[in-house]
Structure 1
C-alpha cells in the first residue's frame, strides 16, 4: 500500500492543529485559575455600602443575627461543600476564626446550593466551630451580590462593606484582610468569641 505525500502532510497538519489547540486550552485554563485566585472586587451595589441584614439558624445550634455584630469586624464567608477551593480554605478559615474571634472579630459561613446533609457533613469534616448558616433560599447570596464561590466579604464597624474577595485566598491574604479592619476600641461585638 502506498501513502501519498499529501495524505501524510494532511495528517501531520491535523496533529499539529490538535497539539496547538491543546496548548491554547491549557494556557487559557492557567490564566483562568490565576484570575480566579482571590482578588479584591470593588464593584457592585455593596462596595462601601452597608451589608444587608440576615438572621438565620446555625448548623451548630442557635442563630446568627448579623445586626448583633454591628460593633466590630465580621468576615462573611460564602461556601458550598462541592466547591474545591472552599475545601482548601475551610481549615484556614477555622484556624483564623479560633484566633481572631477572641479579639472582637465575628465570623459567619454562609452555605449555599447544598443539601442540608452535605453542608452538615462539611461542617463536621472540617470542624467548623464559627457560626455557619444555610442560605437555603439563596436570599443572602443574592442580597450580597455573590457571583461565585468562595467569596469572602469583610465588614467593618457599622457593618460597612470594606472588601470583597472572589475566589480562593491563602492564609496570608486572609490575615491581611482581617488585619485591615480593626475592632472599635472598647466595643466588643455581640457574641464575639461565642460559637453558634
Structure 2
C-alpha cells in the first residue's frame, strides 16, 4: 500500500512538472457568466462548485460553495511541489491585490504532505491568505485532483469558471483573475 502511494506521488509530481513547462496548461473551458445558474454540482467548468468547509492553519473554518459576495480562487497544493513553490509569491500578490473582490484559499492537501512541511512552506513564502487543511484528501478528490497545483476559479454565483492544472505565467493568471472578478 505504501509503495502505491509513493508511485502516485511520483506520477503527480511528474505531471505537475510537465504541466508547469507548458504555458497552455489547464482545462480551458470557460463558462459564460450570462448563462443561467446550473443546478448540477461537479468538478468542471459550468457546474456548481462542490461545497466544502475546512479548518485552516489559523484555526478558522472556511467554506466554498454557493453564491457569495466575492469570486473564489481555490489552489490545491503540497509543500514538496516545485510548481507550487514558483506560484506561491504570485498567489500572495494576487490575494492582496484583489482582496476586496476575491477570496483566495490555498488548500494544503495534507494527505499528500506533512503538516510540519506545509507550515514551513507557509512561513517561508509568507503566505497571507487562508490555508485550509484537507487532511484526508476528500476535498481534493471531490475536485478530481490529479496534479499540484490545481487551481479552481469560481464566480460569485458559485459556478466553476475554469480549472487550471499546473501553473500559468503571472500575467496570464492575473488576466484570468481579472475576468473572474469583473463578472
Q: TM-score, normalised by structure 1?
A: 0.70
Instruction: Identify the match of residue 103 of structure 2 among 90, 106, 119.
Output: 106
CA distance in 2, matches of 1:97, 1:45: 23
Secondary structure of the residue aligned to 1:40 is coil
CA distance in 2, matches of 1:66, 1:114: 22
Q: Deviations over 1:63-92 (max 9, x none)?
A: 111248623210100110000010010011
The CA RMSD measured in Å over matched residues stands at 2.5
Against the structure 1 CA distance between its residues 33 and 134, is the aligned structure 2 distance closer, same or farther, given a 3 Å change threshold?
closer
Q: 1:26 corresponds to which residue?
A: none
**Structure 1: stretches of 5+ with no match in the other structure:** 1-29, 185-196
CA distance in 2, matches of 1:32, 1:134: 24
The number of equivalent residue pairs is: 154
- How far the C-alpha of 1:179 sits from its partner, in A, is 0.8
CA contact (8 A) 1:105 1:183 kept: no
Q: Deviations over 1:27-76 (max 9, x none)?
A: xxx98764476333449852210111111111123111124862321010
Structure of greater Rg: 1
Which has more helix, going by share of residues? 1
CA distance in 2, matches of 1:137, 1:47: 25
Q: TM-score, normalised by structure 2?
A: 0.75
The alignment status of 1:93 with 2:91, answered yes or no, reads: yes
